[in-house]
Structures are given as C-alpha cells and as structure tokens.
Structure 1
C-alpha cells in the first residue's frame, strides 16, 4: 500500500471526433501512437506522471467500452484502478466520482486530474509545476490549474484570465472564457494576463468535495448512495449515472468558485485535438509535408499532412497545398487544413449515410 498522499486521475473517455477518421468510437485517439513514438498517448501520459506518483496511486477513468483497452495498454496500473463510466456525462461527474473513490482510500489525498491525450514536450518543467501545485493544494483550500503560456491567438482553446501580482509563481483566477472569436483572442494575447486552459487540475479531495457541495449539490446527493470500495460499486454507478447532470467541471465548478488559482507554465504543450495540431508537432520533409510512411510520393505539393493506415499501400499526391489526406480501411478524408474544425460536422453527416455507424 502506498504511503504517498499524491494521486492521479487520467481522463481517457473521449472519442476524439475532431481527429476522425483515424480516431473512431471503437479506437479513439488516446489509445493510438499518433506521432510515431512507439507509445500511445495514454501510455505517454502514464510514463510522464509515474515519475511523480506511485503506480498504485494512478487511476484511469474512461468509458466502460474502453476499460479492457486501458488495461491492455497500461499493465502497470492495478486493474481495480481502471474505472469505466456507463455514460458520457462530461467532466464534472467523473471528477466527483474519482474524488469520492480516492477519498475512501485516503481522506488526505491530493490529486491531479489530467487528459490522456495531450502532448507535453518540456516534461521536467511539467513535473516542477505539478510539485508546486501539489504543495499549494495540500496546504490550502485551493482549486489549482496549470495555465499554458499562449503562443498565438488560438480560437480552439479556452482561456484563463488571472489577477496579476508581480514576482509570484501562481495567481488567483479572475475569469474563464471558452473558445473566443479571433478578434477577442488577439486582445487576450496582447493583454498578457491570459493563459490557455489545458484542463489539468490539482486539488485536495476535501477541497473539491466542498466545491461540489456549494455548486453542484444535486450531483453530490446522487453519488452519496454509492460505496466506492464495495462489490456493488459498479451496479450503483450504473443506476445513478442516467440521473446525473451532464456538465463540465469548468462550467459547473471553476467558473463559479472564488478559490481557483493558476500556475503559468511553458510546457511545449498541445492538446493534439486536430489534424493541424498533429501537423505542427510532427516531422516534415523538405516541402513541409508531414507523412507517416515512406510509400507516399508527392509532386508540387507543400504543407500537407498525409496519413495512411495501410503502410504497404502506395500513394501519389500531386498539386495539393495545405491539405489533410487521411486514408483508413473504410474512409478517405481530403480536406483543407484550414477547415479541420469542420471535421466534427463531417462525422455528424456521415452518421446519416446508409450504415453510417460503420464509418465512425
């Protein structure tokens, strides 16, 4: 049994529809080796956090359909620490569920909650900032988040505004803003007091439970009927989840709480949420094309990301500039990179085709 009060929850339940057609409902992006490193996204997340937290204190919460896949990819994590949600209810429910479960094990626990599918290049800085976050959250009733130093006015990220006090490593949060339009994102960047919201949160189990009691008390009431170390835990969760509100931890708690603090961090971070973000973080040839196999011939083509699942298949590209080309077993996607935010709409339309479920 671990003597550490530090715990981790890896959130791995998303479908990653913006990364379709490679990411599908049966095999979403967190379980894939997107950048060709030899380790999948969830494995890289585990590798990173296991340098700070004992493996027996690392938990995974995912969709129940992905429990076996999580167990297969993370054999180091105790099987009982891999938890399946019966329904997708956004991030508030899974945060309360895991805070309750961990507090039953250790009522003094401080936990970090982080997505399974993010890229962090500056690992040492990440671990240093997490150390500070754990110290703050363990000693104070703070809800702490890591804010990413923005490098461009990106409209695909949420933003955190902080109250500036000079010569500090952390700041009180003033506002949260979800995915602003470009003009507003530019003003955020110019002001110097906004950070990207990476969805990485650190809090003591007692602090986050108190916040839920204040802002999402109905959800707390639903979860009180479950014993998190009993044999009937799974059955209980199956029973209550249909009644639980579908809301994010950001909307439900963090935007309302007065005790949220942010630690600015330059982590070499990307949420790898779109094909463009994959392009930006992958190697490129002399024509600035990114491709995952050598069997691709490109002529008069620049700035493309080309990905094919069948690496034995030859592909010829001629005259394309700044396109996404993805070839899987049953889908071919050809789309301008600037339209990658429309891929979620493509997925919705594909569902309406005959046997459309087979393609997503």
Structure 2
C-alpha cells in the first residue's frame, strides 16, 4: 500500500446541478445524498482501504482551498494541489503524476472524480485491487468500466475485447455520449461498458504516455521537478497552467494509446452528473416522483422536487419536471434538460453574480 496514491479531481463547478450547486460551493462540497458526508468526503472515505492518508492528493481550483481544508482537515498543504485556472483533466492528471514521481518513482496512481457515488463498496475495492495489481506489474493504462443498465446517452462507452478468462481486458474503442439509437446497440451487443472516469496506472506509465501523446504538456510539468514539494511549487504551477491547453485525459491519452485496458466493475455506480442521474438513484413514490423537502403533487409523475423545509411547493399535471428552490433561485424545467444548464447558468450570471 505504501506505493499506492489516490488523486481525487475536485475542481469542477457542477453547472448541471445549478442552482443547488453554485460557483462558490459546487456539488462535490455538498451533502447531495443526505448522508451527513459531502461527495468529496464520501470519495475520500471510499479509498481509505487502498492507501494511507498521507498518499492522498486533491486537485482543485485555488478558490476551493478552504473548502477542501475544512472538509478534509487532516490533509497537509502539500496534498492540496491548486489549479489557478481550469484546464480539463489532462492537466489535472499530469500535475500530480510528476509530483508523485519525484517522491516515489514506483508509485501507482488511482485517479477518480470527487462527485461520483458507488454502492457495493466491497466489490468496488475488489475490482480496484485487480486493476492496481495489473498496473503495478505492467505498462497498462487501466480504466474501470461499468456494465450498462440502460442506453444512457450522457455517458461515454468503452468497447473491449471479450476475454472470459482475463479480468483485465484490452480496450478496442472509446465513444463519447452517443445518440440513443447507438447507445441501444451498444447495450445490446454486450461488449460495451460505461466509462466511469476512474483510472489506474503507474506514474512511470502515465508519464511515458504523456510524453508520447501530449508532449507539450509533459514538457511543461517536467520542468517543475525542482519545484515540487518546495515553497516554489505554486509559483511554478501558476505559470505551467498558463501554458497548458485544455484537453481531457480521455481524448488526449486514452483514445490514442495502444496500451489501454479495462477492468469490469461489478459494483453499482452513478456519476451524479445531473438532476436526472440523481433522480435515478433516489427513493421514489408510486408515481416515480422524488421529493426532497415539502411538496403537494397532483396528477404528476417522474418529477424531482427539492426545496427548503420551510417552503411548500405545489405542482399539478407535470411529467418529468425538475422543480427546485435553492437560496435566491427557483428553477422549473424538464428534468432531462441538462444540455441547457450551461445556458441557464450563463444567463443567470448576466442577471447578477449572486445568482450563479
């Protein structure tokens, strides 16, 4: 375990959960599931059996430093990696990879988003250990795949070579958020899984892949070797991010590399990417409605209603709607309108910063 490191990516603003998720406190810092723990804390807890606490790193925007420190108070300053600006997931992987390599060239990284939810955590840990063992003994870039339960158009899909005797399967293709008809074909074929965005690899392997496929990015972070774990680190990182292009690790590395493999997840998972995905996992009434707060619903089904306990929400004749009040914003829209949320947020910000 001493060579295992967990990198939690916690820099997003959670726009598809607006107005509950706001720029000053995004969804990863909220108790979305009502468990008494925020999504970030639940993610942290999930990996405590995988590596020691001192081997955790949280990659986040500099504006969220205090939130991370408040919610994970045992972390040292060296474990909170502050991005001056968002540059997508390739930079959020490269920065900790080069930093960990300086400390431990034999390190194996587990990279995970901060805002996903996992059920059957014992199975999750088993699957993860399978991937770690493979990453530790080979130059494989490994991702966890989730067996699809429906033709979901909001997730990426991974096609893999079917090898019944092998737990670590070679990846054929990645497809990002297909149309419904194609998603249905993927599910029916049986050789596609959802891309969970959880990655496992040795620092040596991912750095080699960065040099091969994202050379400019690799060169930028190589130059920080003397700065990592010193008081000059943040100054270096600020300059490095100013030079980085914005690109995802999926597009920049995983879709191009020839050494990409997948371990099939046998646990239950949701990326909690939208109100719709949260509705999927919440307890519903006999009309398929989720009510978080106080509401009276008449002839309404498949709705998600969320509001403060001192406000009564009354709705009639609605099907598949989201109705939510969060502080100074009331939102009423189709529950599956997640593609519109960036527009909602942009226009709300134009009305005044306090609405975003």
Q: Same fold (TM over 0.5)?
A: yes
Instruction: Identify the residue that residue 300 of structure 1 maps to in structure 2.
Output: 299
CA shift, 1:319, in A, is 2.7
Say yes or no: does 1:280 pair with 2:280. Answer: yes
Alpha-carbon RMSD across the aligned residues, in angstroms, is 1.3
Give aligned pairs, total.
354
**Distance in 2 between residues matched to 1:184 and 1:265, nearest whole Å:** 22
Q: TM-score, normalised by structure 2?
A: 0.96
Say yes or no: does 1:58 pair with 2:56. Answer: yes
1:163-182 alignment runs, 5 A limit: 163-182=161-180
CA shift, 1:153, in A, is 1.0
Q: Secondary structure at the match of 1:315?
A: strand
**Distance in 2 between residues matched to 1:340 and 1:95, nearest whole Å:** 26
**Distance in 2 between residues matched to 1:338 and 1:146, nearest whole Å:** 26
1:69-218 alignment runs, 5 A limit: 69-218=67-216
CA shift, 1:297, in A, is 2.4
Which sits farther off after the overlay, 181-190 or 337-346? Answer: 337-346
> Deviations 1:60-117 (Å, cap 9, x if unpaired)?
0001111110110112333320111001000001101000111111111101000000
Instruction: Identify the residue that residue 33 of structure 1 maps to in structure 2.
Output: 31
**Distance in 1 between residues matched to 2:149 and 2:243, nearest whole Å:** 41
**Distance in 1 between residues matched to 2:355 and 2:302, nearest whole Å:** 27
CA shift, 1:138, in A, is 0.4
CA shift, 1:55, in A, is 0.7
Which sits farther off after the overlay, 59-68 or 339-348? Answer: 339-348
Where does structure 1 lack aligned partners over 5 or more consecutive residues?
Answer: none
Q: Secondary structure at the match of 1:154?
A: coil
Where does structure 2 lack aligned partners over 5 or more consecutive residues?
Answer: none
Runs (4+) off by over 4 Å: none
1:242-253 alignment runs, 5 A limit: 242-253=242-253
> Deviations 1:303-344 (Å, cap 9, x if unpaired)?
211111x32222222332221001011111101223233222
**Distance in 1 between residues matched to 2:347 and 2:282, nearest whole Å:** 29
CA shift, 1:296, in A, is 2.1
Instruction: State whether residues 127 and 266 of structure 2, in contact with CA within 8 Å, keep that contact through their aligned partners in structure 1.
Output: no
Q: TM-score, normalised by structure 1?
A: 0.95
CA shift, 1:18, in A, is 0.9
Q: Secondary structure at the match of 2:22?
A: coil
Say yes or no: does 1:358 pair with 2:350. Answer: no
